[in-house]
Chain A
């Protein structure tokens, strides 16, 4: 979640920081700060009514006694903003519905290009990993090759699929899909529908009819996180004409300020359930309002970081690594292991963005992921002996490694130099503070 809500967070943090620099707060101080909060929200594409209500609610609470008379008024305001932001984002983490009698039928709806088909694939992977048997259903009989796209996704995931024929009636497709799910014994049915504009009453009516036929346990509106002020209208129309139970925000891995996410919940009253964080099929995360609010306010998201680490880091390896770090036995092989784990956790930039106090601006020159890939290639081109004992790497070995990794000798030199620097540093650290726990990576 590299720079998610980045600029919005920076603006809000700026407004609140100015408050912090004062001891006692006057009503005028708070009003000025709330004006800034409102502008920051507007610039982040938050619907103007939502932004206005949000700022005035905070203003009211902040001017109240609990803040002005407290010893740390600025802290109190930050706390209120955090609470209200969490509320605006939906309060608690929402889960997927589960049918009392399987299969659970989930239908994805939305505008063209929001990312419905890809998200269907991501949901299927998620359920598949949980040991479920999802059936992917393609009901988009409109867009050329939409069914084929879904089929390719299903095949690459190794899950079952049913694709309605191009140009056919999607309602008939719904019935056949449900029969197919029963025949295959699937416990989840994920229906991908054609993208449509909310003002196209014919297509909206068709969608409502498909919903009646499918009787889904959950209709999820897929919304592009980069959507502007229009997000509210789209959400209202889909909500009114078809009825939705929740929202999935996609493309949150860009630099969008994500105002749409803040507005959609406020307008529909329906929770955001998942966030799409990348093009790969495993890039779908449950949406945690409280953590997201922390992230927006620059409080970091340590919980997600820990969860990710636990998912990817092998405990035994971590203990072994700690021992090696302590004794400065850290070899290039270990370094390669660490690089791979970082990649599995979503890359360095994502990890850093979850650390408290690390906004995008604090990350020097933004981390270059391709540099990591190059480093990995160089280490991969070394023999096992070379990785364990880099001192044997002479000029001719260097040339071979450079050729093998598609880099040059200078790059190999750079890597070896930074490795030996790191080792020296480790030796100094372990020499000085005994028993200090090094972090599980680096």
Chain B
């Protein structure tokens, strides 16, 4: 379990729980079933991503996270998903820092059939957010998705910049952003918890996207993040294609996490 990044403390808690049950019945298959059920409980209820804003206004989704977790790709997938559901989508390129980030998003937006709003590299990301939301309202879009620059959660001034993007979004449209999603890399270890905690302090997180699940990482950190920070994982990234975005299914997720352990004979903890 430690190998799947669940975390030392939570693992010990779960083991303690199981030990109590074990006094009554000690059968290995049963043990795994029990453990699985505990873990599924930790992820429930699964919550979907918002689809529409209040009465005739677009739903605004801000996507945040540290560098290299897959924000831009996840946004492309989200835009594609909303587009194929018949929604009109606008993406705003509020990552004005990284070289060629704007072009990367533009290419994705085109592939996903979404409208695209951007400023010059190096310009104020909050202004981009404002313009993207205003454009969304003017053009009658259903969804506005904001890409933000990757930033380490320990950089005070960058987190301050993010706060401003969120604040200014609220000024462009009351209640925006309706959804703030943190993108977490499944290969990240215990640090994912710190990311969720500190991004949560800067902006009210409504959920998370867990990416790169097509590798060997199993994303065990999400249990602690849900349990201690109440941030639910809503979406899973499972590949580089536009369709590789799934809603979280707690039972299937836990099954994928435990299967290799169960097959190995349940010896590893």
Residue numbers of A with Cβ under 8 A of B are: 2-3, 39, 42-45, 48, 111-115, 142-146, 148-149, 151-153, 156, 197-200, 224, 226-231, 233-234, 251, 253-257, 259-260, 279, 368-370
Contact = CB atoms under 8 A, between A and B. Distances in A.
Contact of A257 (B106, B157, B191): B191
A42 B5 contact: no
Contact of B191 (A2, A115, A143, A255): A255
A198 B194 contact: no
Contacts of A228: 5, 187-192, 217, 221
Of listed A112, A228, A254, residue having the most chain B CB within 10 A: A228
Contact of A251 (B70, B98, B152, B194): B152
Contact of A254 (B5, B186, B191): B191
Interface of B: 2-5, 7-8, 66-70, 97-101, 103-104, 106-108, 152-154, 156-157, 160, 185-192, 194, 212, 214-217, 221, 240
Contacts of B212: 111-113, 197
Contacts of B101: 145, 149
A115 B188 CA distance: 14
Given A224-B187, A370-B156, A230 B217 contact: yes
A230 B69 CA distance: 15
A431 to B, nearest CB: 38
A146 B98 CA distance: 11
B187 A369 contact: no
B68 A114 contact: yes
Contact of B2 (A42, A200, A224): A42
Contact of A142 (B214, B221, B240): B240
Contacts of B70: 112-113
A200 B70 CA distance: 18
Contact of A227 (B100, B160, B189): B189
Nearest to B70: A113
A226 B191 contact: yes
B98 A368 contact: no
Given A115-B68, A224-B187, A229-B2, A143 B104 contact: yes
A260 B188 CA distance: 10
The 3 nearest A-B residue pairs measured at CB: A228-B189, A113-B68, A45-B189
Contacts of B156: 368-370
8 contacts: A43-B190, A145-B101, A152-B99, A228-B188, A228-B190, A234-B215, A254-B153, A370-B157
A284 to B, nearest CB: 15
B66 A254 contact: yes
A158 B158 CA distance: 27
A224 B107 CA distance: 26
A142 B239 CA distance: 13
A149 B98 CA distance: 8
Given A144-B104, A197-B212, 16 more contacts: A39-B8, A43-B8, A45-B189, A142-B240, A146-B100, A146-B104, A148-B103, A152-B100, A199-B216, A224-B68, A228-B192, A228-B221, A229-B4, A233-B216, A255-B191, A279-B97
Contacts of B214: 197, 199-200
A3 B153 CA distance: 12
Contacts of A234: 187, 215-216
A228 B210 CA distance: 14
A114 B154 CA distance: 18
A45 B2 CA distance: 9
Contact of B190 (A3, A257, A368): A257
Contacts of B103: 144-145, 148
A316 to B, nearest CB: 33
Given A148-B103, A198-B216, A224-B185, A45 B191 contact: yes
B188 A227 contact: yes
B257 to A, nearest CB: 12
A226 B2 contact: no
Nearest to A223: B187
Given A224-B188, A253-B154, A111 B215 contact: yes
A230 B216 contact: yes
B154 A3 contact: yes
Contacts of A114: 68
A370 B189 CA distance: 30
Contacts of B3: 48, 229
Contacts of A113: 67-70, 185, 212
B185 A45 contact: no
Given A199-B214, A224-B188, A255-B194, A115 B67 contact: yes
A151 B91 CA distance: 25
A256 B189 CA distance: 9
Nearest to B214: A197
Contacts of A152: 99-100
B70 to A, nearest CB: 6
A148 to B, nearest CB: 4
B96 to A, nearest CB: 13
